[in-house]
Chains A and B, each alone.
Chain A
Amino acid sequence: MMIDAFPPGVILVLGGLVLPFASTQIRYAIILLLPLYVLWSVWQIGDGIQLALPFLEYELAVVKGDALSRIFATVFAIMAFAGGLFALKQEQVAELAAAFVYAGSAIGVAFAGDLITVFIFWEIMALGSTMVIWAARTPESYKAAMRYLMIHLLGGVILMIGVIAHVADSGSITFQAMTPNSIGTWLILAGFLINAGAPPLTAWLPDAYPEGSFSGTVFLSAFTTKTAVYVLLRGFPGIEILIYIGVFMIFYGIIYALLENDMRRILSYSIINQVGFMITGIGIGTEMALNGAAAHAFTHIIYKALLLMSAGSVMFMTGGKRKCTDLGGLFQSMPITCICGIIGALAISSFPLTSGFISKSMIAQAAGDENLFFVWMCLAAASAGVFLHAGIKFPWFVFFQKDSGLRPKDPPWNMKAAMIFFAFLCIGLGVLPGPLYEILPFSTSYEPYTVPHVVNQLQLLLFAGLSFFLALPIMKRTLTISLDWDFFYRKFGVWLMRFLTRGVVEMRRDIFETLHGWVQGIIKATIRYHGPDGIMARTNAVGGSVAVIIVMLTLFMLVFYWQV
């Protein structure tokens, strides 16, 4: 046993558990100060194992620090702070409590040095995030959270089987880089990928996240998928299959977001798209690519949260309107929400001077360095596509397009402050990437701001923008959704169950009828012989008995006489 540090994630988890019992003033203080304390304590964790606890015959490395752990824990803590600020006045205190447990366990995963600790925090995250969705308290959120929980419990079981098989194979619980070459490691990889929103189980994300409350979805966007990116970065760097999974996710996210009408579902599909970039980087596996994936996770958490804060503010101020068909023209009455949303949209599109530019370009650079022509072409097309589906589509349909006639005001001060803080970070990281590059897992001398790079990026993005406005007539929003993988468990599975159980129900009925017939037969036979009129139950007169005895006795005497 070794205790050099208290796990920073657990501080946040405990803080979350205290929240529902605190008075309003103390609650505000915890929400605003605790994440900052956790951020400080993240940076007190040195390299190597800082907290080891015995468990069964193993020694758990509950806290193990290095640069990769710290960069993810840092952004998780910043996210907990800004999310808390945004949700400060949320009436459902349970949501904030769950969000802190969720954020704390994500930080727990980031510092976990062994697979058992990873698994424990992984499961706490699943519960915390489900509670966050539930806290929206709508029938839709209840059902969506149940579906979400089912998928994540399945992922958890797959991960646990993988961990057990891997530990049985290798004898070690240490969480380090692995190659998928055994059942255990394959299952661990599958468990990680489920949380990343990888195919085929992609649909849990756009199904569940948009059902959170106006503030709940902001938390949801940050932790689960990015923790999955973290564990893939540590566990499976340079595994080639991840490149193809990542490229699939990139285009899947774009195509579905283009078809979508609900603004928060657009942004949810866009999460899968962005995580696809990171997973592609992890699959490429060079230092440049891994740095790019980590940096992109960092910047993505901030601008995606900003976009969802902007969407959440619109929802909050319009009484829950989420569909593009109901929105439009809001820039006139919500200038701060609109400008912050646009800054988030520019950052996700990797415009020069925003955070997305200095992170995503590292992944494309790595693909170029490794001479992966096909991957590089896909990444370039996808960068243009991001501007199309999130960069323009979200602000255009929410804040501009036709005038919906709605004139909601900007949201309360705390929500504005959270948006301005993150908008500031989006631009700050874009203008001064140095501090972020400083904390990346590998040292880098990457220089994003070269004249050709800036010009080429602007060409790519602005011509993507041109295509949006050229195609606008066919981009008209309709009251539709697009079938996704969740069709298989929301519709097809139900049909299949009905179809199969119809046979089963009939068979069950037949068996029961047959058995019932047999039992009836036994009862009838019993009644016939032993019932009131049954032959075995008749009473006979004494005289009759005496007559029978006399006959028997006479026969006996005759036989006896004969013999003698």
Chain B
Amino acid sequence: MNDETELPKDLHWLVRPSTIKLLWRGGFVLLAILVLADFAIHPHAAFGIDGSFGFYSWYGLLTCLAMIVFSKFLAIFLKRKDTYYDD
């Protein structure tokens, strides 16, 4: 990974397009493994739903997207230039 000869010298190895591609792939593999791990574990669910297959995965993804969308919706009304209070 530290082979600097093939790429522009000033580009840190961590931000090279090839590394980023690799990180995305690795990330998706990790996520897949985590979802599949639900087959292996035996959760002690406090409620019904939190013991169902893949619950934490979809719940984490969807609630976060919902929070982002909701914050963007609020931004329509609440966003101001950061010099708003300066006068």
Contact = CB atoms under 8 A, between A and B. Distances in A.
A541 interface: no
B64 A388 contact: yes
A546 interface: no
Interface in B28-76: 30-31, 34-35, 37-38, 41-44, 46-47, 50, 54-61, 63-65, 67-68, 70-72, 74-75
Contact of B46 (A329, A368, A468, A480): A368
A480 B82 CA distance: 4
B75 A482 contact: yes
Interface residues of B, number: 43
B70 A255 contact: yes
Given A376-B46, A482-B79, A471 B65 contact: yes
A471 to B, nearest CB: 5
A151 B84 CA distance: 21
B63 to A, nearest CB: 4
A32 interface: no
A251 B64 CA distance: 11
A352 to B, nearest CB: 12
A133 to B, nearest CB: 16
A251 B54 CA distance: 24
A491 B47 contact: no
- Place the interface of chain A in its size category: 35 or more
Contacts of B16: none
Given A481-B84, A483-B80, A467 B64 contact: yes
B78 interface: yes
Contact of B56 (A256, A460, A471, A483): A460
Contacts of B59: 380-381, 384, 460
A384 B62 CA distance: 10
A500 interface: no
Contact of B35 (A261, A381, A457, A459): A459
Nearest to A478: B79
Given A261-B82, A455-B34, A460-B56, A331 B14 contact: yes
Nearest to A486: B85
A488 interface: no
A553 interface: no
B9 interface: no
Given A388-B68, A467-B65, A259 B79 contact: yes
Interface of A: 251, 254-256, 258-259, 261-262, 323, 329, 331-332, 368-369, 371, 373, 376, 380-381, 384-385, 388, 400, 403, 450-452, 455-468, 470-471, 474-475, 478-484, 490-491
23 contacts: A255-B67, A259-B74, A323-B82, A332-B12, A371-B46, A380-B59, A380-B63, A381-B63, A381-B64, A403-B15, A452-B43, A455-B37, A455-B41, A456-B43, A459-B54, A462-B60, A463-B60, A463-B61, A466-B61, A467-B64, A480-B75, A480-B82, A482-B75
Interface of B: 12, 14-15, 27, 30-31, 34-35, 37-38, 41-44, 46-47, 50, 54-61, 63-65, 67-68, 70-72, 74-75, 77-82, 84-85
Given A376-B46, A384-B63, A480-B81, 6 more contacts: A259-B75, A381-B59, A385-B64, A456-B50, A461-B60, A474-B68
